[in-house]
């Protein structure tokens, strides 16, 4: 009898803990990214360092000296390319960009993924609709992306005609929002 009561108590505690964890997740409504929870009360940088899918992006942000900027008040919308997106670039591109002498170019590439606004997916879709199917998105880096969507999927075209798809939208941050993308966006040559 004591064993059954102990097992019942343990089961109740486990269920209570699971419910509490589920409740805290539903409060933020944030998806997991790169196997890590994303917390709406942390900055873009504080969350990104925990994503196993964004190690290259984090290294690039550090090498470009943009950690303080992206930890700032914002609001920022960051279109965050995954490690797989960086791997699709021409061989040696990432290594070259990470060299200290290429810091200005790295900053340009990275800031072409950042918008000075808090743009959730529904807002982006609304702007696309208002503009008849394509909306220009000026970035902090001086690039202009073209946003479109199909169904629930938002796409961004860079100045070279490359298209990135948002694979995880609306990851809320204390200083903005992250949208995970599958392609690195590049400035015009």
Q: Residue 38 belongs to a domain with what CATH number?
A: 2.30.180.10
Same domain, 24 and 71: no
**Half-sphere CA count of 59, side-chain side, radius 13 A:** 15
Evaluate whether residue 61 is within a structural domain: yes
Same domain, 91 and 69: yes
Closest CA to 179 of 48, 26, 23, 36: 48
Place of tokens 């100045």: 159
pLDDT band of 1, cuts 50, 70, 90: very low
Same domain, 43 and 73: yes
Same domain, 35 and 22: no
Task: Give me the chain's average pLDDT, please.
Answer: 86
Same domain, 138 and 108: yes
Same domain, 57 and 79: yes
Q: Is the pLDDT of residue 36 over 60?
A: yes
Query: What pLDDT is stored for residue 2 in this prediction?
Result: 37
Same domain, 88 and 169: yes
Evaluate whether residue 84 is within a structural domain: yes
Same domain, 7 and 98: no
Evaluate whether residue 187 is within a structural domain: no
Q: How far apart are the first and last CA of the chain?
A: 76
Same domain, 134 and 49: yes
Evaluate whether residue 132 is within a structural domain: yes
| Overall domain count for the chain | 2
Q: Which domain holds residue 2?
A: 1-30
Q: Is the pLDDT of residue 9 over 60?
A: no
Same domain, 35 and 71: yes
Average pLDDT value for residue range 26-47: 84
Q: Is the pLDDT of residue 16 over 50?
A: no
Q: Is the dihedral of CA 169, 162, 114, 84 positive or negative?
A: positive
Whole-model pTM? 0.84
Q: Is the pLDDT of residue 18 over 90?
A: no
Average pLDDT value for residue range 159-180: 96
Q: Which residue did the predictor score with more confidence, 29 or 116?
A: 116
Same domain, 24 and 89: no
pLDDT band of 189, cuts 50, 70, 90: confident
pLDDT over 90 for what percent of the chain?
82
Q: How far apart are CA 129 and CA 66, in angstroms?
A: 33
Q: What is the 3-state secondary structure (H, E, C) of the chain?
A: CHHHHHHHHHHHHHHHHHHHHHHHHHHHCCCCECCECCCCCCCHHHHHCCCCCCHHHHHHHHHCCCHHHHCCCCCEEEEEECHHHHHCCCCCHHHHHCCHHHHHHHHHHHHCCEECCCCCHHHHHHHHHHCCCCEEEECCCCCEEEEEEECCEEEEECCCCCEEEEEEEEEEECCEEEEEECCCCCCCC
At 132-149, the pLDDT tens digits run 999 999 999 999 999 999
Same domain, 65 and 155: yes
């Amino acid at each position: 009898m004591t064993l059954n009561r102990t097992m019942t108590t343990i089961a109740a505690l486990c269920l209570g803990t699971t419910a509490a964890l589920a409740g805290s997740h539903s409060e933020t409504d944030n998806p997991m990214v790169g196997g890590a929870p994303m917390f709406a009360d942390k900055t873009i940088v504080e969350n990104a360092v925990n994503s196993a899918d964004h190690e290259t992006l984090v290294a690039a942000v550090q090498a470009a000296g943009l950690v303080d900027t992206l930890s700032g008040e914002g609001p920022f919308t960051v279109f965050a390319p995954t490690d797989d997106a960086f791997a699709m670039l021409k061989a040696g591109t990432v290594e070259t960009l990470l060299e200290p002498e290429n810091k200005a170019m790295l900053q340009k590439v990275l800031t072409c993924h950042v918008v000075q606004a808090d743009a959730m997916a529904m807002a982006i879709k609304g702007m696309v609709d208002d503009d008849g199917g394509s909306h220009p998105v000026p970035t902090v880096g001086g690039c202009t992306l073209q946003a479109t969507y199909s169904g629930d999927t938002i796409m961004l075209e860079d100045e070279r005609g490359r298209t990135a798809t948002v694979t995880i939208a609306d990851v809320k941050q204390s200083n903005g929002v992250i949208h995970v993308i599958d392609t690195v966006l590049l400035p015009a040559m």
